[in-house]
């Protein structure tokens, strides 16, 4: 791709795995991934609506203003979040159940079913989301969360002329010091 490489207009593709699964190399073809990674959407980013994958860097801060001043002299970060969100337009039983707390799908031959009840415990996943790099468009970059909560939070509308979409949120979790929440950039060799 020609310069400017720092300008990227391409969607990410999201993969989920059991917490503890080894991350693939950023450039690695899906067929060569360590076992256990599942593509979100049967056809990956072709099953995300045109809003793409939104990456949100949230934070809460506290500004300290000393008694002898009218202006803050120090800022503290009191909370931060890293979230990916997308609208999944794949409502197949396997994909719908995956984002609904990894529900078990019963395949009865002529029917499939899964519970929509998620209960009080939220399953966690390892998350690997990759796309084009802003360093060089021939490179790939990835967002990697060693532990994240995946949930559907919102409405799914079935209507003539509209695509039914599952509003998926993926929230990174930092529980252990060893938990990974990072961006990685690699060339394709």
Tell me whether strands 140-152 and 74-88 are parallel, antiparallel or unpaired: unpaired
Using an 8 Å Cβ cutoff, are 105 and 116 in contact?
no
Q: Which of 84, 189, 73 is nearest to 138 (CA)?
A: 189
Kindly indicate the confidence band of residue 2, based on its pLDDT and cuts at 50, 70 and 90: low
Could you report the per-residue pLDDT of 56-77, keeping only the tens digit for each?
999 999 999 999 999 999 999 9
List, in sequence order, the alpha helices (H) in the chain. 93-99
Q: Is 178 helix (H, G, I), strand (E, B) or coil?
A: coil
Could you report the per-residue pLDDT of 88-117, keeping only the tens digit for each?
999 999 999 999 999 999 999 999 999 999
- Domain residue limits, the chain: 13-186
Instruction: Please tell me the predicted confidence (pLDDT) of residue 1.
Output: 57
Kindly indicate the confidence band of residue 189, based on its pLDDT and cuts at 50, 70 and 90: low
Kindly indicate the confidence band of residue 118, based on its pLDDT and cuts at 50, 70 and 90: very high
Q: Which of 84, 89, 64 is nearest to 74 (CA)?
A: 64
pTM over 0.75: yes
Is the pLDDT at 188 greater than 80? The verdict is no
Could you report the per-residue pLDDT of 8-36, keeping only the tens digit for each?
889 999 999 999 999 999 989 999 999 99
Could you report the per-residue pLDDT of 128-184, keeping only the tens digit for each?
999 999 888 888 999 999 999 999 999 999 999 999 999 999 999 987 878 889 999
CA atoms of 61 and 17, how far apart (whole Å): 32
Is the pLDDT at 186 greater than 90? The verdict is no
Instruction: Please tell me the predicted confidence (pLDDT) of residue 100.
Output: 95
Q: Which residues contact 148 (CB under 8 A, 6 or more apart)?
A: 124, 125, 126, 127, 170, 171, 172, 173
**The pair of three-digit structure tokens given for residue 79, joined into one six-digit string:** 């909370």
Degrees to nearest 5, angle at CA 15 with 101 and 141: 140
Beta strands in the chain (DSSP E): 13-17, 38-39, 54-64, 74-88, 106-107, 112-113, 124-132, 140-152, 166-172, 181-186
């Amino acid at each position: 791709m020609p310069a400017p490489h720092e300008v990227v207009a391409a969607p990410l593709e999201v993969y989920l795995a059991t917490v503890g699964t080894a991350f693939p190399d950023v450039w690695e073809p899906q067929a060569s991934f360590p076992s256990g990674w599942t593509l979100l959407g049967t056809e990956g980013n072709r099953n995300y609506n045109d809003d793409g994958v939104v990456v949100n860097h949230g934070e809460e801060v506290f500004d300290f203003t000393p008694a002898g001043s009218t202006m803050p002299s120090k800022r503290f970060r009191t909370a931060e979040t890293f979230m990916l969100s997308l609208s999944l337009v794949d409502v197949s039983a396997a994909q719908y159940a995956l984002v609904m707390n990894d529900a078990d799908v019963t395949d009865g031959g002529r029917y499939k079913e899964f519970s929509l009840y998620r209960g009080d415990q939220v399953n966690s996943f390892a998350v690997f989301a990759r796309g084009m790099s802003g360093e060089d468009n021939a490179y790939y970059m990835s967002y990697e969360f060693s532990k994240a909560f995946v949930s559907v939070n919102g409405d799914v509308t079935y209507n003539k002329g509209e695509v039914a979409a599952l509003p998926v949120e993926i929230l990174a979790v930092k529980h252990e010091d060893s938990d990974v929440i990072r961006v990685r950039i690699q060339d394709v060799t």
